[in-house]
Amino acid sequence: MAVTIKSNREIELMRESCRLLANIFEELGNSVKPGISTLSIDRLGEKLIRSCGCVPNFLHYEGYPASICVSVNDEVVHGIPRANRILHEGDIVSLDAGLIYKGYHSDMARTFGVGKISDDARKLIEETRNSFFEGVSKAKQGNHLYDISNTIDDYISQFGYGIVEDLTGHGIGTSLHEDPQIPNFRQKRRGLKLQAGMTLAIEPMINMGRADVEWLEDDWTVVTEDGSLSAHYENTVLITDGEPEILTLL
């Protein structure tokens, strides 16, 4: 599939889809507390998405059974919410969610600390977020796609963290996943030339230990092979001829 360039009308719809999602995330983040189950977070997320007249895009996507991905500690992404999975003080939890507004998809993720967390965990979360902002600074017309990838890799390398290679960011629009794939690690080629009107979900997934991941028996949950903590930070971004517009930031 070719990379799509959004019209002004489509950009307006993407903006609104992302604004609604960012608002929902505020509330979802506030629900993260010791004692809450990962299923309660999913229930709240689905309710908030539907209450603004939107549809959760993750629900039933390739058979995914929930609206929100809730990934705890060594779970990298795609953790399936469960009633018996209770968050405890000191855990870190990545929430990943998206919605469809008038046919247009948004997608974002954040990692939260549950109560008081270790300094090492706090640093992992912060540097994962920082790596997104380093990468997105290259997301403008005329640059190449892998300028983003290489910049994220260069930034993360200094900490000795593992960058997940088995999953990538992606184009987004009338589908949750459009071309191109956006790796978070160094590429040999430059990749396609970025053009105003592209909308991209940029999403570094960073492990405190090694980069290797594996899939659990549920066929969804991705975990670090070495059991180390993992963090995720994702926004939907509009490429312009100037600074990128980060659509899922309020």
Of 224, 203, 217, 200, whose CA–CA distance to 92 is shortest?
224
Q: How far is the CB of 123 from ligand MF3 (least distance, A)?
A: 24
The interface region with ligand MF3, picked from 15-23, 42-50, 59-67, 111-119 by CB under 6 A, is: 59-67
Q: Which of 107, 127, 134, 147 binds Co ion (CB under 5 A)?
A: 107
Burial of 60 by CB count in 10 Å (0-12 exposed, 13-18 middle, 19+ buried)? Answer: exposed
The mark string for 188-207 relative to Co ion (x by CB under 5 A, - otherwise) is -------------x------
In this structure, are residues 238 and 18 in contact, taking their beta carbons and an 8 Å threshold? no
Residue 61 interacts with, from Co ion, ligand MF3, none (CB under 5-8 Å by kind): ligand MF3
* Tokens matching residue 198: 């592209």
Q: Which of 64, 90, 226, 245 binds ligand MF3 (CB under 6 A)?
A: 64
191-to-111, 142, 147 alpha-carbon distances in Å: 29, 12, 8
Closest distance to Co ion from the beta carbon of 35 (Å): 29
User: Whole-angstrom distance between the N-terminal and C-terminal Cα of the chain?
Assistant: 31
- Give the contacts of 51 (CB within 8 A, at least 6 positions apart): none
Supply the minimum distance, in Å, between the C-beta of residue 170 and Co ion. Answer: 6
From 58, 112, 132, 233, residue interacting with ligand MF3 (rule: CB under 6 A): 58
Indicate the pairing of strand 169-171 with strand 199-202. antiparallel
Please tell me the distance from the alpha carbon of residue 167 to that of residue 204, in angstroms, as a whole number: 9
46 binds ligand MF3 (CB under 6 A): no
What minimum distance in Å lies between the beta carbon of 109 and ligand MF3?
6
Binding site for ligand MF3 (CB under 6 A): 58, 61-62, 64, 69, 78, 96, 98, 107, 109, 201
